[in-house]
Structures are given as C-alpha cells and as structure tokens.
Structure 1
Amino acid sequence: MENGKTIDVLNNLLQIINDRIEGFKDVNVEMIESHSNLKEEYDCMVQNSYKMRTELSSLIEERGGDLKNTTTFAGGLHRAWIDVKNSFTFDKSESTLQNVIFGEDAAVKAYEKALGSGDLCAESSKIVQDQLQELKSSYHKFVGMEEEL
C-alpha cells in the first residue's frame, strides 16, 4: 500500500470528523437540555469527536502528510439545509435527532468505505476500526432515542 493513499484516506476521515464536530455545534441546545439522558451522551460524543480528530491528525503527521483540517463541501451543504429545514420545523427535537442520525450514518459509511479500500496500513486500520465502532455505537444510541420520542 502506498503512503500517499493512506494519507488521503485518513485526511478524508479527518474531514468527516470535522463535519461531525460542526454538526454537533449546531444541535438544538433546548432539545439537549430537555432530555436528561441525552445531555451526557451528547457531551461524550463531542469529546469523542475531538479525540478521534487528534488520533487521525497524529496518524497523518506520523506518515509525513499535510493535514486537511477542514470540513467537506457536502457536510457544509447538509448543515445549511438543516438550518433552512429547522426554520420551518415545529418539532425541533425530532428534527434534530433525525439530522444527527443522518450524519452518524454518513460517517459510518465513510469509515466502512475507508476500511474496505485496502489503502490503510495496519496501525491506521486498527484506529479507524476502533473509531468506526464508536460511530456505530453513537448511531444506535441516537436511533434508540428517536424511537423513544
């Protein structure tokens, strides 16, 4: 496997995690505060996102790569769409959970694609696999919360 391809894949995942962080910043604060079980989960997921970003950044730098410490164009469009949609939505809690679930699902798919690419070295694959498990867990927690509403 080529080092440049590994760096590209890791940078793509870094951008996905940056999208996740930005998306969590846009989560409706009243919705978080109105669900006591959600506040702790939300705070944990935000902290995990920062940890994931640090891990990916370290892997990229260890391989001599330049960090693409930005968000994706698609993620920016999605956040803009959410803002527009939320301005017309009555039930902010349900809409927010649906948006988080959509974002978590997109992240899971991106991670699965990265792992399936064959472009990651063993160390990178291990960290990406561990992060994928965290993303899947987050996704399932939010799906469960949506079902409770």
Structure 2
Amino acid sequence: MDNRQEISVLYDLLHITNDRIEGFEKVEGKVWEMYPDVKDEYDHMISQSKIMKNELVNLITEKKGVPEDSPSIAGAVHRTWIDIKNSFTMGNLVESTLENVVFGEKAAIETYQNALGGGNLSEKSNKIVSEQLRNLKSSYSQFKKIEEYKKKE
C-alpha cells in the first residue's frame, strides 16, 4: 500500500471534518437556542467532529504526514453560498439551516464512503474511518428526522 495515497485520503477526510466544525460553528446561535431538541444533537456533533479530527490528525502523523489544519476550498465556497442564500431567504431560517446541515452531512458521508471504497487505507485507518462513517450516518439520520419534523410544523 502506498503511504502517500493513504495520507492523501486522510487529508481529504480531515478537510471535510474541518468543514463540519466550521459549518457547525457558523450556524451556532442562529437557530439552536430556539430548539433545545436540536441543540443537544448539535453539541454532540461538534464534540464528535473534534474527536474525529484528533483521530485523523493522529493517523496522518503516524504515517509521517503533516496534518493540514484547514477546511477545504469547496467547504468555504459552500459556507459563503449559504451566507448569501440566507441573507435573501424570505422563508423559514430554521428550515433552511437544517437543510444545510443535512446537505453537509450527506457530503461528508459520500467522502467517507469513497475513502473506504478506494482501497488506500491501512487496516487501522479503515477501522477508525469506518467508525467515523457510522457516526456520520447516525448524525445525518437524526438531522434528517428533525428537518422533516420541522417542515410539518
């Protein structure tokens, strides 16, 4: 297995994890205080993302890589687009924010699935990334349910 390939895959996962953290921090205070049921899951996702980040940094370091502690360009563009969209949104800000969280979680899941399907991860990395994907799917499912519930209100 090519060590550089594995480090590259882990970098991609680190970037998407940093995107999640920045995205969550960006919406903090806009909606969550109004909906305590959402806030608990949100806080859990922030904590989970920070743990995931540390795990990825450790894997990269073990492989003799230098962790790049920054979000992706695509994530930055997406957050800017969300800011612009929200500034013109006449509808429900809660619904829009939940849609954006669900969209981001779905993108993270796809990135993780691609990483696992690429065959470039060691057994240890594969185990950790698989567990992180399981956590992402759980968060996605929770927010998808909340999003659907809020649309019915």
Moved segments of 4+, more than 6 Å: none
1: CA distance between counterparts of 2:48 and 2:112? 15
- Which residue pairs with 1:32 in the alignment? 32
1: CA distance between counterparts of 2:30 and 2:73? 28
Cα RMSD (Å)? 0.8
2:107 maps to 1:111: no
Normalising by structure 1, we get a TM-score of 0.98
- The size of the alignment, in residue pairs, is 149
- Which residue pairs with 2:22 in the alignment? 22
Gaps of 5+ in 1: none
Gaps of 5+ in 2: none
2: CA distance between counterparts of 1:28 and 1:60? 29
Give the AA of the match of 2:95: E
2: CA distance between counterparts of 1:38 and 1:15? 25
Secondary structure at the residue paired with 1:29? coil
Task: Give the superposition deviation at 1:73.
Answer: 0.8
Task: Render the CA deviation track for 1:45-90: whole Å, top value 9, x for unaligned.
Answer: 0000000000000000011011121111110000000000000113
2: CA distance between counterparts of 1:29 and 1:141? 20
Give the AA of the match of 2:100: N
2: CA distance between counterparts of 1:103 and 1:30? 17
- Which residue pairs with 1:63 in the alignment? 63
1: CA distance between counterparts of 2:108 and 2:81? 18
Secondary structure at the residue paired with 2:27? coil
